[in-house]
Amino acid sequence: MGRKVQRIWPKHLQTVGEMLRQNVDVFAHCPKCQTDFEVDLETLAILYTGHYSLIGRHGKCKRRGCGGRVFFNARIHTVFVPLLEEK
């Protein structure tokens, strides 16, 4: 009760570099305007290095005037995994 269980993430989802190596498809989703955005992992790896992690990270929605915050999802075959830290 009240004990925090840290989720153990599979290695191929932990960093941008591993997601690239394993060809994991990643997109960002804005819960406010329900829009999905493409995520360019190669650009992220260049900007932040391959050690960068998208888990628990949020970004600004790119849709003009929305002001929402996106979170990241990985798509593995037909399974979608939200890259969110459990609270």
Give residues in contact with Zn ion (CB under 5 A): 30, 32-33, 61, 63, 66, 68
Burial label, 84 (beta-carbon count in 10 A; 0-12, 13-18, 19+):
middle
* Shortest separation between residue 63's beta carbon and Zn ion, angstroms: 4
Task: Pick the closer one to Zn ion by CB: 26 or 61.
Answer: 61
Task: Pick the closer one to Zn ion by CB: 13 or 61.
Answer: 61
* Shortest separation between residue 26's beta carbon and Zn ion, angstroms: 17
23-54 per-residue burial string, b: 16 or more CB within 10 A, e: under 16: ebebebbbeeeeeeeebebeebbeeeebeebb
* Shortest separation between residue 46's beta carbon and Zn ion, angstroms: 25
